[in-house]
Homo-oligomer: A and B are copies of this chain.
Amino acid sequence: MLETLPLDLLKPRPVPQALLLGLQQRFGERCNTALAMREQHGRDESPFDVPPPDVVVFAESAEDVAFVVALANQHAVPVIPYGAGSSLEGHLLAVQGGISLDVSRMQRILQVHAEDLTVTVQAGVTRSQLNAELRHAGLFFPIDPGADATLGGMAATRASGTNAVRYGTMRENVLGLSVVTASGEQIRTGTRARKSSAGYDLTRLFVGSEGTLGVITELTLRIYPLPEAVSAAVCFFPSIDAAVQTAIQIIQLGVPIARCELLDAHAIRAVNAHDKLGLQELPMLLMEFHGSPASVAEQAQTVQDIARDLGGEDFEWATTPEARTRLWAARHHAYLSGLQTKPGCRSVTTDICVPISRLAEIINASVAEVEATGLAYFIVGHVGDGNFHMAYLIDPLIPAERETAERLSHQMVTRALRLEGTCSGEHGVGLHKQGFLVDEAGEGAVALMRSVKQALDPRNIMNPGKIFAV
């Protein structure tokens, strides 16, 4: 039993026959109204039960996208951009019906400028596809949410992942976009220059707009040389607090660590089972260092010294690329591995991010609170950023478990805001965190967001009902 949305979010709009005919005429088999296809596009990793979209259209070009959006605008019908379907916050759900616009076939890598460390791709390219293409040129794109998401989707939710502590998030790594606006017009934002003071920062207005202001069709991204030296290590701690304190000190000392991930004992148990890793079932930091051989050695030494002082056991180094890949693959599977520890469960997942000095306080308090309820959970976290996820594992047949999880999640967000943090580090607001957004930003700032939305999408066709009610 999935969660039922508040009724005021569900406002299906009529889809006129003329619109459907117009889509069928242009797209033929790429316009699909079969229930199975619509249901597949009407679901994501969020726990909501919402009727599927009325129709799924597969775009293969920016012109396809512009056609769909212009027609939808004419008929005031919603358009929901769809990439890999890996959203955790209900971004894809057709709460007002309409068209699921699938851009996953727009997967051409258009330009690789190794000499400038930029790349231009279509929105449906996934992060792993891009990295497979870049690897042979000695380059990589660092942003890596758990899922193999599309780059368009990652921009739309302002995604980050394990490398953000060193390389930033999509906010810092998108140089420019091609966007189809709500009227069906194609615009470009940004250039290939590293910086610019030319006008409003439309690039960063669309990054994180969750499909509510337009459809991203192309992205120009920063890429990076593969580091000369890479080393990864795991380190086990007697308590979560000791692991988190280590992460805090690493950041406060300014160590340019590339990745600094926390897994609690529950998460380790899950990845051990799923990926056959045999790791000790203790709170663990999973770290990676990038740089010259000397710099990597220096960073590693500093971090070992900090960890030892806090009771961390000696590092285990993953020196071969294969061993590293295995560890990071396990980290990326952690969410799914965790779900499998409680068969049939669903997850309520938190995403708060706080100033680094406040991280231990909020993790310790959150662990105490969940332990007191007996609810199953696990923790994974981009702790170098002050960001972590607690997944509460609930039996969908037991409403009390969901209520408990939602109460714990609310307590955690309230605490995060008091500590000057945010309700969402990287997953976005979607359907689930709209109340939290108001708590965080205030009514005035949300009203301002809403007026931007109304100015850019006066008929409210772009992914309506997400981020805030309009």
Cβ of A202 < 8 Å from any Cβ of B?
A: yes
Cβ of A181 < 8 Å from any Cβ of B?
A: yes
Cβ of A204 < 8 Å from any Cβ of B?
A: yes
**Complex: how many Å from CA A83 to CA B363?**
41
Cβ of A158 < 8 Å from any Cβ of B?
A: yes
Cβ of A252 < 8 Å from any Cβ of B?
A: yes
CB atoms of A421 and B202 under 8 A apart: no
Contacts of A355 in B (CB 8 A): 113, 115-116, 118, 192-194
Contacts of A225 in B (CB 8 A): 253-254
CB atoms of B171 and A201 under 8 A apart: yes
A170-222 with Cβ < 8 A to chain B: 171-172, 181, 185-189, 191-202, 204-205, 207-209
CB atoms of B456 and A185 under 8 A apart: no
Closest to A194 in B: B385
**Complex: how many Å from CA A225 to CA B251?**
11
A83-121 with Cβ < 8 A to chain B: 113, 115-118
Cβ of A328 < 8 Å from any Cβ of B?
A: no
Cβ of A470 < 8 Å from any Cβ of B?
A: no
Q: What 1/0 mask marks residues of chain A from 416 to 455 whose CB sits below 8 Å from any chain B CB?
A: 0100111111111100010011001110111011011011
Closest to A203 in B: B204
Cβ of A354 < 8 Å from any Cβ of B?
A: yes
Cβ of A62 < 8 Å from any Cβ of B?
A: no
A375-429 with Cβ < 8 A to chain B: 385-387, 417, 420-429
**Complex: how many Å from CA A27 to CA B460?**
44
Contacts of A429 in B (CB 8 A): 197-199
CB atoms of A201 and B207 under 8 A apart: yes
CB atoms of A254 and B158 under 8 A apart: no
Contacts of A200 in B (CB 8 A): 205, 208-209, 449, 452, 467
Cβ of A294 < 8 Å from any Cβ of B?
A: yes
CB atoms of B442 and A187 under 8 A apart: yes
**Residue among A201, A254, A448 with max Cβ neighbours from chain B (10 Å):** A448
Contacts of A454 in B (CB 8 A): 455
Contacts of A437 in B (CB 8 A): 198-199
Contact A196-B425, Cβ < 8 Å, known A254-B225, A448-B202:
yes
- Count residues of A near B (Cβ-Cβ below 8 Å): 86
Cβ of A164 < 8 Å from any Cβ of B?
A: yes
Cβ of A356 < 8 Å from any Cβ of B?
A: yes
CB atoms of B444 and A185 under 8 A apart: yes
- A74 → B minimal CB distance (Å): 18
**A172 interface neighbour in B168, B420, B442, Cβ under 8 Å:** B168
CB atoms of B448 and A456 under 8 A apart: yes
Cβ of A353 < 8 Å from any Cβ of B?
A: yes
Contacts of A433 in B (CB 8 A): 198
Q: What 1/0 mask marks residues of chain A from 225 to 267 whose CB sits below 8 Å from any chain B CB?
A: 1000000000000000000000000001110000000000000
CB atoms of A452 and B449 under 8 A apart: no
Cβ of A298 < 8 Å from any Cβ of B?
A: yes
- A381 → B minimal CB distance (Å): 13
CB atoms of B197 and A426 under 8 A apart: yes
Contact A201-B357, Cβ < 8 Å, known A194-B386, A440-B191, A441-B189:
no
CB atoms of A446 and B292 under 8 A apart: no
**A197 interface neighbour in B189, B295, B427, Cβ under 8 Å:** B427
CB atoms of A191 and B115 under 8 A apart: no
What are some 30 contacts across the A-B interface (CB < 8 A)?
A: A113-B357, A158-B201, A181-B444, A185-B444, A187-B442, A187-B445, A189-B441, A191-B420, A191-B422, A192-B354, A192-B420, A193-B387, A193-B421, A193-B422, A194-B355, A194-B387, A197-B426, A197-B429, A198-B422, A198-B429, A198-B433, A198-B436, A200-B205, A200-B449, A202-B445, A202-B448, A204-B205, A294-B295, A448-B456, A455-B455
Q: Taking beta carbons and an 8 Å cutoff, which residues of A are in contact with B?
A: 113, 115-118, 157-160, 164, 168-169, 171-172, 181, 185-189, 191-202, 204-205, 207-209, 224-225, 252-254, 291-292, 294-295, 298, 351, 353-358, 385-387, 417, 420-429, 433, 436-437, 440-442, 444-446, 448-449, 451-452, 454-456, 467-468
6 closest cross-chain pairs (CB), A and B: A455-B455, A116-B355, A196-B422, A115-B357, A204-B204, A192-B420
